Structure 1
């Protein structure tokens, strides 16, 4: 390990998800750190054995009714080892990496990039990630910045629209008496790995995930397992897709014990949570806040105009550059999303299309870097109430306008794969920090 390491987890210590992992974060240069995470051999061997058992039912070999484990270990060793690495990476390591980066207040400028995944002679698997660093911004006393938020339009019809919206949402809340899972709901569930006999392998070897139940994108699993369930229900699921294309790998279809921890209703406006989230004291403030997503100028809501003005002031006080290679990576991410849009061919015909994407990538990076560093300096933390309010806003086409920071993956809102709790907390932390800044500047 590098002598400039920030921290190292002892063998006796356990991270928040209960998995005994070793880690080390060390500096490579002023713009690059690395984090090395080690999954110990006893965990690796257990996952290896489970994968061999899984292969017995998935692999067909002429001459065998049931393929012997010895045969699989000899002829499918590379495939099984690759599956074990992939399983550990997607289910536990990535979450752990993000947790430790936030916990140690590393000024990350982009998501960590896996550069090495090796197994040593003792059977431990080592995962090495690059962490691109943002220069530390000397945050000025922003709480006293002069700030005049853009005003709403003065159409009386706006107030009427807000009143009608509120009455309609309150009526829906009264009618929604069911506490069972329905299409459109968000579910937080705990996933524990089980063996072929459906016994939990590691009590502490678990993962918290969120999924939006949607008939079209999560149909098979939703209809079979989640619809009609309640908080506290538990059941066995045949496999759990955690990344796009994950279900295509025969070696990664492990079974899990699912325990439903929370349900966020998709058809109910959580009014009390909304008030707490935006620190609203009375009905007048509630009304004014809702007007922000009803008042539009040039197709831009008052809410978005307020946020853009806030960033304009902050960037005028804090000038910094983003390394070119990070902008290129963000451009690639944006293009990957745009290519799935039906209007992509139209966008691409614009002469300055690439320049627009580049400017957008740079702007997003600057906003994320600034907000993350303020969040770190203000010690912002996220709890389940923050996540529930965030997801509840996403469920409503009008209230969704309050959300500024969203995961870069289109699959998030489609609900086709579960969202990791750690990833969601990172986004909610940015959103909570943004709301904290706006509240402080306008109170």
Structure 2
């Protein structure tokens, strides 16, 4: 899916540091875009509002603006945040190489018709780590097991996926495929609004009953196809608290099929040139020792070496937030109460949270210091790994939670790109340490 350079858009992002570890990011949306959304919201209310004294769908615009102003403003706050702000924010932070830990936190917003909208986010930043010449560190990479059965397993995997590709009907997107799409707001005549702004999303087509709305509009669609829709699922995604009936033009820009794992994409992702290199790379997720894959062992040893050579502290409040996240994840485990009863539970959670924060800091700085960018190849590779349980082992960080109330939800392109960048940074580290 083609990546738009958000820096050329009408939106603006400015970052100001209050301390070396705390900053504000301010996103400004020009009044012309705010008014486009506001006017569409008024028209939507005119069509759906039922009030005494007016026939259905004939409520005057001025009446709506006067009597529904609070609801209109609250609605467009949500819509602007999801349609304009969130992807733009993440892409701008990467483009400007702003080093942060965790997610940006919305702290303030101002939205009024006829005026620029402003969304302000708090960022947990960190002071630069004085990196040594890490590419020349002595690194002893973990070795694979020398069982011939491992090579046979890899050969079988390759044969199966090549056969799956040969049998792929290529008749459009289907269940369990990832679909990349651009979405723009259009009027009743199909004219693009909001200066033709396109919001880019990724969606996994689910197979549950709750997934039917998105499945119905994307199933069978080919790359490059466009259509106009007003399905409620999109309305709820952009503004979950309010009902609307906007028209959206949706263009399918990419499809990552579930039926086969694309080996050509895999080779591009890891820059593999020969069949031998392909085989060696796949061995990393087939060779296990003490329930730990070779790939995971390489990650652990690489990070362990970097931490041993670079001593640095982490923002205390970042660790606290990560502790909360760790506990939330553990609470979903059936054995949570067993873990919670352990005397050292709190200490272990804190240690895990601190390690995770240190990993994020190190890889964030490495990515920007090495001038890495999250490209289309990286995003496609990242999502393709999610299509096979075995291939997920190539991803170190937790995969995104895509389901809300048992329904697959769109994911903003900017969030996916940032996740892909962290994995790319880790791959870059392992590649240079292990190639000697």
Superposition deviation, residue 343 in structure 1:
4.7
Match of 1:191 in 2: 183
Match of 1:16 in 2: 6
Q: Decide which of 45, 55, 66 is 2:35's aligned counterpart.
A: 45
Would the alpha carbon gap of residues 252 and 35 (structure 1) be closer, same or farther in structure 2, given more than 3 Å must change?
A: farther
Would the alpha carbon gap of residues 367 and 190 (structure 1) be closer, same or farther in structure 2, given more than 3 Å must change?
A: same
**3-state SS in 2 of match to 1:382:** coil
Match of 2:102 in 1: 110
Would the alpha carbon gap of residues 370 and 290 (structure 1) be closer, same or farther in structure 2, given more than 3 Å must change?
A: same
Measure, in 1, the Cα distance between the counterparts of 2:6 and 2:292.
Answer: 41
Match of 2:121 in 1: 129
Would the alpha carbon gap of residues 26 and 385 (structure 1) be closer, same or farther in structure 2, given more than 3 Å must change?
A: same
Measure, in 2, the Cα distance between the counterparts of 1:279 and 1:19.
Answer: 32
Measure, in 2, the Cα distance between the counterparts of 1:415 and 1:438.
Answer: 36
Superposition deviation, residue 98 in structure 1:
1.9
Match of 2:433 in 1: 441
Q: Decide which of 353, 361, 375 is 2:345's aligned counterpart.
A: 353
Superposition deviation, residue 380 in structure 1:
0.5
- The reply on whether 1:319 has 2:318 as its aligned counterpart is no
Give ranges in structure 2 of 5+ residues lacking alignment: none
Q: Which 4+ stretches in 1 moved above 6 angstroms?
A: 242-245
Q: Decide which of 152, 162, 168 is 1:160's aligned counterpart.
A: 152
TM-score by length of 1: 0.89
Measure, in 2, the Cα distance between the counterparts of 1:62 and 1:440.
Answer: 71
Stretch deviating more after TM superposition (202-211 or 255-264): 202-211
Measure, in 1, the Cα distance between the counterparts of 2:34 and 2:239.
Answer: 21
What is the aligned-residue RMSD (CA, Å)?
A: 2.6
Superposition deviation, residue 170 in structure 1:
1.4
> How far does the alpha carbon of each residue in 1:117-165 deviate from its partner, in whole angstroms, 9 at most, with x for none?
1247962222111121111111111101111111222333222222222
Give ranges in structure 1 of 5+ residues lacking alignment: 1-13
Kindly indicate whether the alpha-carbon contact (under 8 Å) linking 1:36 and 1:127 is maintained by their aligned counterparts in 2: yes
Would the alpha carbon gap of residues 217 and 132 (structure 1) be closer, same or farther in structure 2, given more than 3 Å must change?
A: farther
Superposition deviation, residue 307 in structure 1:
0.2
- The reply on whether 1:70 has 2:71 as its aligned counterpart is no
Kindly indicate whether the alpha-carbon contact (under 8 Å) linking 1:117 and 1:127 is maintained by their aligned counterparts in 2: yes
Would the alpha carbon gap of residues 120 and 29 (structure 1) be closer, same or farther in structure 2, given more than 3 Å must change?
A: farther
Match of 2:251 in 1: 259
Would the alpha carbon gap of residues 391 and 240 (structure 1) be closer, same or farther in structure 2, given more than 3 Å must change?
A: farther
Kindly indicate whether the alpha-carbon contact (under 8 Å) linking 1:183 and 1:215 is maintained by their aligned counterparts in 2: yes
Match of 1:363 in 2: 355
Would the alpha carbon gap of residues 355 and 216 (structure 1) be closer, same or farther in structure 2, given more than 3 Å must change?
A: farther
- The reply on whether 1:288 has 2:280 as its aligned counterpart is yes
Would the alpha carbon gap of residues 58 and 353 (structure 1) be closer, same or farther in structure 2, given more than 3 Å must change?
A: farther
Kindly indicate whether the alpha-carbon contact (under 8 Å) linking 1:211 and 1:415 is maintained by their aligned counterparts in 2: no
Match of 1:87 in 2: 79
Match of 1:5 in 2: none
TM-score by length of 2: 0.90
Match of 1:3 in 2: none
RCO higher in 1 or 2 (8 Å CA, sep ≥ 6)? 2
Superposition deviation, residue 39 in structure 1:
1.6
Match of 2:204 in 1: 212
Stretch deviating more after TM superposition (166-175 or 94-103): 94-103
Measure, in 2, the Cα distance between the counterparts of 1:71 and 1:186.
Answer: 43
Kindly indicate whether the alpha-carbon contact (under 8 Å) linking 1:109 and 1:133 is maintained by their aligned counterparts in 2: yes
Kindly indicate whether the alpha-carbon contact (under 8 Å) linking 2:78 and 2:239 is maintained by their aligned counterparts in 1: no
Measure, in 2, the Cα distance between the counterparts of 1:238 and 1:309.
Answer: 50
Measure, in 1, the Cα distance between the counterparts of 2:145 and 2:267.
Answer: 23
Measure, in 2, the Cα distance between the counterparts of 1:264 and 1:415.
Answer: 19
Q: Decide which of 161, 183, 187 is 1:169's aligned counterpart.
A: 161
**3-state SS in 1 of match to 2:6:** coil
Stretch deviating more after TM superposition (55-64 or 133-142): 55-64
Match of 2:132 in 1: 140
**3-state SS in 2 of match to 1:250:** coil
Kindly indicate whether the alpha-carbon contact (under 8 Å) linking 1:99 and 1:422 is maintained by their aligned counterparts in 2: yes
Superposition deviation, residue 379 in structure 1:
0.7
Measure, in 1, the Cα distance between the counterparts of 2:66 and 2:205.
Answer: 41
> How far does the alpha carbon of each residue in 1:19-56 deviate from its partner, in whole angstroms, 9 at most, with x for none?
41233222212221212222222221221111111123
Superposition deviation, residue 315 in structure 1:
0.5
**3-state SS in 2 of match to 1:321:** coil
Measure, in 1, the Cα distance between the counterparts of 2:132 and 2:236.
Answer: 42
Measure, in 2, the Cα distance between the counterparts of 1:357 and 1:420.
Answer: 30
Query: What pairs up with 1:408-427 in 2 under 5 angstroms?
Result: 409=401, 411=403, 416-427=408-419
Stretch deviating more after TM superposition (354-363 or 133-142): 354-363
